[in-house]
Amino acid sequence: MSYKEDFISNLKYYRNQKGYSQAKLAEECNCQPGTIGCIECGRQFPSFDLLFKISDVLKINPADLFLRNASNSIFETRKIMKEDFLSYVGNFVKEHF
């Protein structure tokens, strides 16, 4: 995946996490209604000002939008928590309490 594809995936992920439609995010960012859709389709890239506004509205660090597919990282973390950490804690509690 390219950085642009990661950016688009992360933007969609964080927008959905916030429960915003593309139109709602555009409204909150004070930009044209189709702007977010154009960004998510890869036809447009946000200015620095819009990038910072998007991150402010989504309550994330702007760098989070550029991480290598943050949505996969979160799912991977949840998987590790479910499969490894929770069983470890369960065994620890059984042994010590």
Q: Which two tokens stand for residue 39?
A: 């960004």
pLDDT digits (tens, 9 = 90+) for 39-66: 999 999 999 999 999 999 999 999 888 8
pLDDT digits (tens, 9 = 90+) for 24-41: 999 999 999 899 999 999
- pLDDT score for 16: 93
- pLDDT score for 40: 96
Q: Which pTM value belongs to this model? A: 0.71
- pLDDT score for 73: 59
More confident residue, 5 or 86: 5
The number of angstroms, rounded, from the C-alpha of 95 to the middle of its chain's C-alpha atoms is 38
d(CA 91, CA 69): 33
Amino acid at 30: N
